[in-house]
Amino acid sequence: MKKIEFTVLVLITFIIAAGAQQADNNSTCVVCHRDQDPPLSTPVEQLKTSIHNNPKLSCAGCHGGDPTAEDADMAMSKAKGFIGKPSPEQIPKLCSKCHSSAAFMRTFNPNVPVDQYQLYLASEHGILLKKGDKKVATCVSCHDVHDIKKANDPTSPVFPSNIADRCGKCHADADYMKGYSIPTDQLSEYKKSIHAKTLYDKGDLSAPTCNDCHGNHGAMPPGIASVANVCGACHLVQSEYFSASPHKEAFDNMGVSECEACHGNHAIQKTSDQMIGTDEQAVCTQCHDEGSQGYKTAALMRDGIDSLATEISLAEAMISKAHLAGVEIQDKALNLSKSKDALIQSRALIHTLSMDKVGGKIKQGLKAAINALEIGRQALKEVGHRRNMLIIMVVLTLLVAGFLVLYIRVRERNND
């Protein structure tokens, strides 16, 4: 019985496997290349796990030739469009034969964009390739060749947590980039940033990596006057405040890169209140000398923020004291969250450069914090008051108890 079941199972497996073989056996390219030595056989293996593993695409889809001819010369004949191993200059066009055709791509997957070629041509990579530079990235430098995966497949080299290392394969290799005038520190700087920490340590895919700031296919430096737009895709509020502030025009005129002037580009760090004001760590003093309007405003903004932050921590301390003493503080905590919101908003409002706006928000926050502090103080006072009452009650109770004991003793003695 067992033996028969096993035989049936083996048979079924064999039939399925043969069927699968049939699917790509259609192409003589696969049949012949499978039996060659590497590297001639490697593409057959690699294609098995690729998004292109589809009999309709297959080897001839990219290389041309006649996938029905069994004879090598016939199959790989130039007359049948065989191009052999494509050179870097040929690759973007080759991939785009399909990828730029909305009509063709729709028959497989209507959701795949078809703009890669146009964007690539406009990128620094595409521009230099056209001039004959073969060291720039082409489609296969970022996507691999025969084992191309969907972009949202975590094992794809263009997946958010993999792409920086892929760009870095060239951009962080000083030898490879010798002869170009650009630095090779983008990857190492990026890895130190709050963005990389958020992406790698927290696994938060909403943090930007190389292609979020430079484009998937249009890799270009954003240009000093459009950095705010790049960052603004995620930091909308700061970007709007900045763009409406006097810094926007002043920076563009000076040729200073928008957000970058204060935050950097690749190694952007978590911010702190130390960044504003007139101390050594403050960014404002890079450009504003003592006595200037910018200097004065920087100092005022820092004072305002410091005083709100101090008031909030005092109120917090008071409230936690009250809490330890057992007083309910829900309402008061609500007040404090109002002033914490005000602190967050005034940090963002710095980007407007308007002391009126920052000052107004700080005033709101201070009002709420002082209110919370007062309520906390009252609560503690009440606790103190209650404690005193308790002591008096205990003393009174003891006195009464003592008196009763005495009274009972006297009664008993009298009875005796």
Binding residues for ligand HEC restricted to 93-152, rule: CB under 6 A:
94-99, 105, 108-109, 112-113, 116-117, 120, 124-125, 128, 135-143, 145-146, 148, 150-151
Question: 35-46 b/e with 16+ CB inside 10 Å = b?
Answer: eeeeeeeebbeb
Stretch that binds ligand HEC, among 10-18, 23-31, 328-336, 390-398 (CB under 6 A): 23-31
Q: Measured between alpha carbons, how far is 114 from 100 in angstroms, rounded to an integer?
A: 5
Lookup: tokens for 368: 């709420």
Site for ligand HEC in 257-286 (CB under 6 A): 257-263, 265-266, 268, 270-273, 275-276, 283-284, 286
Minimum CB separation of residue 13 from ligand HEC in Å reads 24
The answer to whether the CB of 47 falls within 8 A of the CB of 78 is no
The one among 8, 11, 15, 40 contacting ligand HEC by CB under 6 A: 40
Lookup: tokens for 352: 């407007």
Minimum CB separation of residue 357 from ligand HEC in Å reads 11
Minimum CB separation of residue 384 from ligand HEC in Å reads 37
The one among 86, 218, 365, 376 contacting ligand HEC by CB under 6 A: 86
The answer to whether the CB of 311 falls within 8 A of the CB of 373 is yes
Minimum CB separation of residue 307 from ligand HEC in Å reads 13
Minimum CB separation of residue 31 from ligand HEC in Å reads 7
Phi, psi of 397 (to 5 degrees): -60, -45
By beta-carbon proximity to ligand HEC, the closer residue of 195 and 332 is 195
Instruction: Return the closest-CA partner of residue 33 out of 11, 8, 6, 65.
Output: 65
Phi, psi of 127 (to 5 degrees): -65, -45
At which residue do the structure tokens 């040729």 appear? Answer: 255
Q: Measured between alpha carbons, how far is 25 from 70 in angstroms, rounded to an integer?
A: 12
Residue 51 in the binding site for ligand HEC (CB under 6 A): yes
Residue 340 in the binding site for ligand HEC (CB under 6 A): no
Site for ligand HEC in 55-84 (CB under 6 A): 57-63, 65-67, 72, 75-76, 84
Instruction: Return the closest-CA partner of residue 46 out of 151, 120, 155, 170.
Output: 155
Lookup: tokens for 196: 């990389």
Stretch that binds ligand HEC, among 13-21, 54-62, 317-325, 358-366 (CB under 6 A): 54-62
Radius of gyration of the chain (CA): 36
Residue 332 in the binding site for ligand HEC (CB under 6 A): no
The site for ligand HEC, by CB under 6 A, has a size of: 148
The answer to whether the CB of 267 falls within 8 A of the CB of 189 is yes
Minimum CB separation of residue 228 from ligand HEC in Å reads 4
SS3 label, residue 402: helix
By beta-carbon proximity to ligand HEC, the closer residue of 84 and 384 is 84
Residue 163 in the binding site for ligand HEC (CB under 6 A): yes
At which residue do the structure tokens 């650009």 appear? Answer: 182
Site for ligand HEC in 355-414 (CB under 6 A): none
The answer to whether the CB of 361 falls within 8 A of the CB of 346 is yes
By beta-carbon proximity to ligand HEC, the closer residue of 72 and 392 is 72
Q: Measured between alpha carbons, how far is 242 from 244 in angstroms, rounded to an integer?
A: 5
Stretch that binds ligand HEC, among 15-23, 38-46, 328-336, 395-403 (CB under 6 A): 38-46
Minimum CB separation of residue 369 from ligand HEC in Å reads 16
By beta-carbon proximity to ligand HEC, the closer residue of 59 and 312 is 59
Minimum CB separation of residue 93 from ligand HEC in Å reads 8
SS3 label, residue 223: coil
305, amino acid identity: I
Q: Measured between alpha carbons, how far is 213 from 207 in angstroms, rounded to an integer?
A: 11
Lookup: tokens for 23: 């699917």
Site for ligand HEC in 203-262 (CB under 6 A): 206-214, 216-217, 219-224, 227-228, 230-235, 238-239, 242, 246-247, 250, 254, 256-262
